[in-house]
Each structure stands twice: as C-alpha cells, then as structure tokens.
Amino acid sequence: MSWPALIVLVVGAYGLKAFGVLVLGRPDSTLGARLEPLTSLIPAALFAGLIAVQTVGGDETVVLDARVWGVAAGSVAVWRKAPFVVVVLIAMAVTAFVRWQT
Amino acid sequence: MSTHRREGFVLAAAVGIVGVTFGVLADAAGLSLAQVVVMSALVFTGASQFAAVSVVDTGGSGIAAVGSALLLAARNALYGPVVARLLPAAWIPRASSAQFVIDETTAMASVQETDDDARDAFWWTAIWLWSLWNVGSIGGALLGSVIGAPETWGLDAAFPAAFVALLAPHIRKRPGQAAAVVGAALAVVFTPIAPAGVPLLVAALAVIPGWLVGRREAAA
C-alpha cells in the first residue's frame, strides 16, 4: 500500500468520525434534537446488522458455518444473564469445537 | 474494578488478539511496520483496516483499498449523534474524542444506565481498545506467520457474540426490537449483492420502522 493512499485513508476515516460528532452530534442542533427518536435507535439497528454480517457474512456471500453455533450459544448465555466474559468464551469454545469436529 | 471497565477490558482483549491477525495479514500484504503502526494508531477502525489490506493483498489498487475501507468506516459517522452528549464540549478535546467513536466504544457507552457510567465506559473501552489493538497489530506484523489461524480458536465468533450482549439492552422495547430485526435482515439481504460496508449502511435505515412502531405505540 502506498503512503499517499494510507494518508487518504487516515484522513477519510477520521473525517467520518469527526463529521458524526461535530456536525451530526452538535449539541445546539435543532436538527439533532428532532432526529433524536431516530438516532436513539441506531445502536439497535446497526449492532443487529453487525452481528448478522459477522455471523453469516463471507466474501460478498452468506456463509453458514461454525460461527452460527458459537453465536447461538453466546446468545443463550446472554439470555441466561451470563457475565460478558462468559458469553465471549462460550461463543469461542463452541465455534472452535464445531470447526474441529467438521 | 466496576463492571463496565471490566467488560471494556474483555472486549479490548478479544479485539487485541484480532489485532494480531491484522498485523499478520498486513505484513503478508506487503505493508511496512511503519505503515501498520500508522494505520492502527490513526485509522483505528478494525473492519476498515482489514478491508484495506485484503484489497491490497489481492492485487487491488490503492483507490479500491481506500474506497472499500471508507465504506466500512462510514457507519462511525452515525455513532456520532449517539455518543455526542458524552464527549467534552470544548472544540479541540471534542474533535480529538471523535477518533475513538467506533463500534465498541459506542456499544459499551450505550448500554450504561447513567451518563456518568456511559462516559466512563466510553473512555475506558477507548483506552484499552486503542492500546491492545496497537500492541496486537505490531505483534502480528513482527511475528508474521508464527501464530496459527485465529479461526482455530473461534475468535471470529467472539466479536458477534460480544455484540449480542451489547445489543440486549437496546431490544427490551418494541421500537428497538423492530429496528434490530429489520436491521439484521437488511444486512443479510445486502451482503451478497453489495460491497462490504454497504449492508451496514442500509441496515441503519431500520431506525425508520423502529420509529414508526414507537409512534404507533404512543398513539394507541
């Protein structure tokens, strides 16, 4: 990767974050206040999307593999109110086990 | 140590190990150690970094690498309004804080009950995550292929499972449930037909059905 490309990436990645905080999240923005009912739902929408993509996403395809079992097991742990670290470890263990078995 | 600081550390530890993978991949794609250091410290948004190096690794152009990485980074802009009230008001500290507005910090902050806890969770997650992501990437770049594939350890399931825990408080009410179900469905439907990053931007539109459900409930 060339240095100029990397610098564009650095500037662009930060620019997007800064746009979110400084423009979309301006404290005195009436637009921000009016959009609050929508922005408060962003975590629900995006985190669910993120979980879906990370669980069944491949290289521009949908792949069902050992991750599905691991995330399902982790979800049961969340539902049973297991501590965070337990949720993560259960998901990893089940995924590793299913992968090893197949 | 309070619960959210411990959880922030656990999340960062998993991300740090993913950082090792990133370092290994970046090294294999021909990035210098200096480039890996600059990327992890300053780009600091994992999915974008993976996208950039895998495009470079498969012989893609710098423009293609930057383009796909920025598509994945675009969602960070949507996190701005979610965490904005927690960040310092003065211009320079506020602009600097923006660097740390990513999936993990937004998630840890957004599940706290009070703003004080949310602020604390945001910063502790940011500090742990930034440190361990950088240590991991540098380690990976230096060690190269000595470490086996992280998939063997099921690490690729650690991140989505962690986010199930972080999603849970957001789906206690009907509007959140609607947004989550539609968001996940849109992301899956668009995964095979759109470049990486786009499915998540489309998923963000799920706030609209969520909002409509909330409005109908309020009217009823």
Average per-residue pLDDT for chain B: 90
Same domain, A52 and A28: no
CB B136 within 8 A of CB B119: no
Q: So what's the pLDDT on residue A100? A: 93
Cβ–Cβ below 8 Å for A45 and B157: no
Same domain, A51 and A101: yes
What confidence tens digit (pLDDT) does each residue in A10-41 have? Answer: 999 999 999 999 998 887 767 667 777 888 89
Same domain, A54 and A88: yes
CB B10 within 8 A of CB B130: no
Residue type, B143: L
Q: How confident is the model at residue B137 (pLDDT cuts 50, 70, 90)?
A: very high
Same domain, A7 and A21: yes
d(CA A94, CA A102): 12
Q: How confident is the model at residue B49 (pLDDT cuts 50, 70, 90)?
A: very high
User: In sequence order, which residues have a C-beta less than 8 Å from that of residue B67 and are 6 or more positions away?
Assistant: none
Same domain, A62 and A100: yes
* A21 → closest Cβ in B97, B161, B167: B97
Same domain, A56 and A80: yes
Same domain, A33 and A52: no
Residue B146 pLDDT > 70 = no
Residue A60, φ and ψ in degrees, nearest 5: 55, 35
Task: Give the CA distances from residue B57 to residues B30, B143, B180, B203, in Å, rounded to whole numbers and listed in that order.
Answer: 8, 18, 34, 28
Same domain, A57 and A88: yes
Same domain, A34 and A45: no
Of these ranges, B23-32, B135-144, B181-190, the one predicted with the greatest mean pLDDT is: B181-190
Higher model confidence: residue B27 or residue B98? B98
**Domain carrying residue A34:** 1-40
Q: So what's the pLDDT on residue B1? A: 60
Same domain, A61 and A102: yes
ipTM associated with this complex: 0.90
Is the four-CA dihedral B157, B200, B164, B78 of positive or negative sign?
A: positive
Which of A25-29, B91-95, B116-120, B195-199 is least confident? Answer: A25-29
Chain A residue with minimum CA distance to B171 = A44
Selected for mutation to probe chain A from B33, B71, B78, B217 (highest A CB count within 10 Å) is B78
How many domains would you assign to chain A? 2
Same domain, A29 and A71: no
Q: So what's the pLDDT on residue B148? A: 63
Same domain, A75 and A32: no
Q: How confident is the model at residue B24 (pLDDT cuts 50, 70, 90)?
A: confident
**Which candidate, B46, B42, B75, B104, places its Cα nearest to that of A9?**
B42
Q: Average of pLDDT values for A59-82?
A: 94
Cα Rg of chain A (Å, integer):
19
